[in-house]
Amino acid sequence: AAAGLGAGSGWAGSRLRPAGGWRRFASVNKAKEEAAAGPTEEGSQPTPPVLAPTLELPRNLVVRGLDDVEDGDLPAMSGGFSGRPRDGILEADALRSCAPYIHRHRGSSMLVHLPGHVIDDTEAFSSVMDDLALVRLLGVRLVIVLGCRKLIDDGVRARGHEPVFANGIRITDEETMRVVKQAAGAARFEVESMLSKGFQAIPGGSGCNVVGGSGFFTAQPVGVRDGVDYGFTGEVRRVEAARIHERLDAGDLVVLTGVGHSASGTTFNVRSTDLAASVAIAMQATKLVFIMGAGDVLVDADTNKQVQNLRLKDAKMLFGSEDCRDACSAEDEPATARQKRWQWVGCSSVEAVERGVRRAHLVSPNRGALIAELYTRDGYGTMISGDVYDGLRHARPQDVESILRIVKPLSKSGVLKVRNRELVEETIDQYHVCTRDEAVVACGQLTQYGAYAEIGAMAVVPEYRGHGRGEAVLNYLERTACSWGTKYIFVLSTVTMEWFIERGFVEVPVSKLPEERQAIYDNERKSKVYMKKLLDERQVDADELFWDIGTF
Ligand SMILES: CC(C)(COP(=O)(O)OP(=O)(O)OC[C@H]1O[C@@H](n2cnc3c(N)ncnc32)[C@H](O)[C@@H]1OP(=O)(O)O)[C@@H](O)C(=O)NCCC(=O)NCCS
């Protein structure tokens, strides 16, 4: 399923490509060892392992697990939600803040992928199962896909063999296939019994019927590729989405494993991350959730903070590039299990979101993490969201004409201040445009004054108004301002105040403007000033959850 992802979108050739590229991602621990060893032979300090940069909002991302992080050097994690009383007082506000999410998610279909190493870890497994039982009781239609990689590897080794992979894909011979079936059966049994325990642990919870089996999808062989015969390794041929929905409508919970049958009755071993993405796409699930390793986080190395959200475009560059895949399947520099997991999970998330799943979430198996991720604003993991900003981009010099065409009539009627061609040409770097079929249909300008950013020239072509484009431009500008590290965003307006007030801006006196901006305030125009404290990026994303992007 990963094939083709990132083709043309990778950052191979990008000027942002860091020295070492993906090879450095494939050697997080190696880089740590190098760092501990001091300067390299050439006398230069080794660069930290870089996962990938982003295009418009350059960030320096790394994957970290707890064992990679020095004491006291833990990335700042988002708060999460314990739901427990603190100092004897129930966190009523926390509960209240969850209410919109509970309402939003009730009745929606979600797909959760649970990897074998979590099933194998008693504490993590029981925590995730308790959380899943609660999610189900809160009315979510749940499909769980089980990964068995660890169980299969252990089973193969127990028979005195080493698991065999080529290009990162398992080669499944007849004996391995027998192990796969046993592992899948055992994993399903464990999940069912833990789930019923989870349901019983919630007083008043009624539990639900768990259904599974291989009738929900068909498989086909991967076959022989580049001279390698993958044996019984398969891929998804078709997902019986209607059958799955039927079971969910009946109130059941569906549990799937990667064991699938072909039309001719042969059994194949399908990679579970691919299966999860295929099922989520076929069902058009609202969310695809991957449970990651305990303590595994994606970190912005510049800020040492957990990356809470990734736009699809950024995720595609991270996980979809050829370099990334090469690094994870390279024979000479074998990636660790963690790196491979991030790679496959990332590719599957990108594919799912590209093909209609609204959001993918990468969450640790800590107790409550899944609940915090789904039902709180801050979340707990990393969210990959579809591009509601499709068509929004930085303006280019050739956009000057279109921008002038939009703003000139508004300047004439006094809605916007007057901007001549020279001024727009000089400041074109500050403009952002929204396009449809290459035509510019909206624009906005963003100017930074230290901790403040000013929105200007914000306008939508009249025939395109009322479809959320104004809101999308505003959020895009807010997100860009967030990425600059600014704390406040403001706009000067003479007639459109209500629109901004409804979007969280409040009127402030001119004296609240940064001094630099006060100095050029137009006393004749007497615009009013509206200001808003910026949310962090994740909160901007959370707000978008409530947009009706279908009409955009
Ligand atoms: C303000 C503007 C950018 C909004 O763009 P848009 O794409 O129509 O915005 P959205 O679709 O996101 O929002 C539409 C909603 O805003 C409302 N709205 C539009 N203009 C408004 C105004 N001046 N005051 C209050 N509400 C307004 C619409 O009635 C609609 O409300 P509804 O959803 O309840 O029907 C657009 O109307 C515009 O270009 N106006 C002229 C330029 C301007 O005033 N720019 C601001 C300079 S400070």
* Max CA distance (Å), the chain: 85
Report CA torsion sign: 189, 191, 197, 199: negative
For residues 246-260, give the mean pLDDT: 94
Atom of ligand 1 nearest to the CA of 467: 11
Q: State mean pLDDT over 444-468.
A: 93
Higher pLDDT, 261 or 305: 261
133, pLDDT greater than 50: yes
Ligand 1 lined by 454 (C-beta under 6 Å): no
Pocket test for ligand 1, best of 499, 546, 547 (most atoms within 8 A of CB): 499
Judge whether residue 530 has pLDDT over 70: yes
Q: Verify whether ligand 1 is closer than 6 Å to residue 463 (CB atom).
A: no
What's the whole-number average pLDDT of the chain? 78
Atom of ligand 1 nearest to the CA of 406: 39
**Residue 304: strand, helix, or coil:** coil
Q: Is residue 434 in contact with ligand 1, taking CB distance under 6 Å?
A: no
Which residue lies with its CA nearest to atom 40 of ligand 1?
459
The amino acid at 54: T
Beta strand 488-493 pairing with 452-460: parallel
9 vs 423, higher pLDDT? 423
In the predicted structure, residue 528 carries a pLDDT above the cut 90: yes
pLDDT higher than threshold 60 for residue 16: no
Ligand 1: nearest atom to the Cα of 469: 7
User: 392 CB contacts (<8 Å, ≥6 apart)?
Assistant: 432, 433, 434, 435, 472, 473, 476
Task: Say what percent of the chain tops pLDDT 70.
Answer: 74
Cβ–Cβ under 8 Å, residues 535 and 478: yes
Residue 337's pLDDT band (boundaries 50, 70, 90)? low
Backbone dihedral angles phi then psi of residue 434, each to the nearest 5 degrees = -115, 125
Res 180: pLDDT: 96
Would the CB of 391 count as within 6 Å of ligand 1? no
Q: How far is the CA of 285 from the centre of ligand 1 (A)?
A: 32
| 525 pocket-lining for ligand 1 (C-beta < 6 Å) | no
The response to whether residue 409 sits with its C-beta less than 6 Å from ligand 1 reads no
The rounded Å distance from CA 471 to ligand 1 centre is 8
Closest Cα to atom 43 of ligand 1? 459
Per-residue pLDDT of 284-300, as tens digits, reads 999 999 999 877 788 77
- Ligand 1 in contact with 465 (CB < 6 A)? yes
What average pLDDT does this structure show over 368-388? 81
- Closest C-alpha to ligand 1, atom 47: 458
498 alpha carbon – ligand 1 mean position (Å): 9
Residue 498 Cβ contacting ligand 1 at under 6 Å: yes
Most confident option among 43-52, 406-415, 533-542: 406-415
Which of 47-56, 112-121, 321-330 is predicted least confidently? 47-56
Work out which ligand 1 atom sits closest to the CA atom of 494: 48
Mean pLDDT for the stretch of residues 480-508? 91
| CATH pick for 61-67+111-385 out of 3.90.1150.10, 3.40.1160.10, 1.10.10.60, 3.40.50.300 | 3.40.1160.10
SS3 percent helix, strand, coil of the chain, rounded to 5, is 40, 20, 40
Q: What confidence score (pLDDT) does residue 532 get?
A: 94
Does any ligand 1 atom lie closer than 6 A to the CB of residue 444? no
Q: pLDDT at position 327, please?
A: 52
Task: Decide: 493 in ligand 1 pocket, CB within 6 A.
Answer: yes
pLDDT of residue 522: 94
Best of 412, 465, 491 to mutate for ligand 1, by most ligand atoms within 8 A of CB?
465
* Rounded distance from Cα 424 to ligand 1 centre (Å): 23
CA of 462 to the centre of ligand 1 (A): 10
3-class state of residue 293 by DSSP: coil
Domain ranges of the chain: 61-67+111-385, 392-551
Q: Do 114 and 291 contact (CB within 8 A), yes or no?
A: yes
Does 165 contact ligand 1 (Cβ within 6 A)? Answer: no
The vertex-529 CA angle with 523 and 534, nearest 5°, equals 145
CA of 175 to the centre of ligand 1 (A): 65
Q: Is the pLDDT of residue 315 over 90?
A: no
pLDDT digits (tens, 9 = 90+) for 74-97: 334 333 334 444 443 446 667 777
Spatial CB neighbours of 11, under 8 Å, sequence gap ≥ 6 = 17, 52, 53, 55, 317, 321, 323
Q: Who wins on pLDDT, 507 or 169?
A: 507
Q: What is the pLDDT of residue 102?
A: 87
Which of ligand 1's atoms lies nearest the C-alpha of 416?
47
Ligand 1 pocket check for 410: Cβ under 6 Å: yes
Residue nearest to atom 38 of ligand 1 (CA): 459
Q: Is the pLDDT of residue 509 over 50?
A: yes
Question: Does the beta carbon of 415 sit less than 6 angstroms from any atom of ligand 1?
Answer: yes
Cβ–Cβ under 8 Å, residues 402 and 424: no
Kindly state if the Cβ of 471 falls inside 6 Å of ligand 1.
Answer: yes
pLDDT at 411 over 90: yes
Decide which of 377 and 375 is more confident. Answer: 375
- Residue 497 CA to ligand 1 center (angstroms) comes to 10
CA of 465 to the centre of ligand 1 (A): 7
Smallest CA separation from ligand 1 atom 41, residue: 459
CATH architecture of 392-551: 3-Layer(aba) Sandwich (3.40)
Q: Is 96 exposed, middle or buried (0-12, 13-18, 19+ CB in 10 A)?
A: exposed
Distance 458 CA to ligand 1 centre (A): 10
**28 or 155, higher pLDDT:** 155
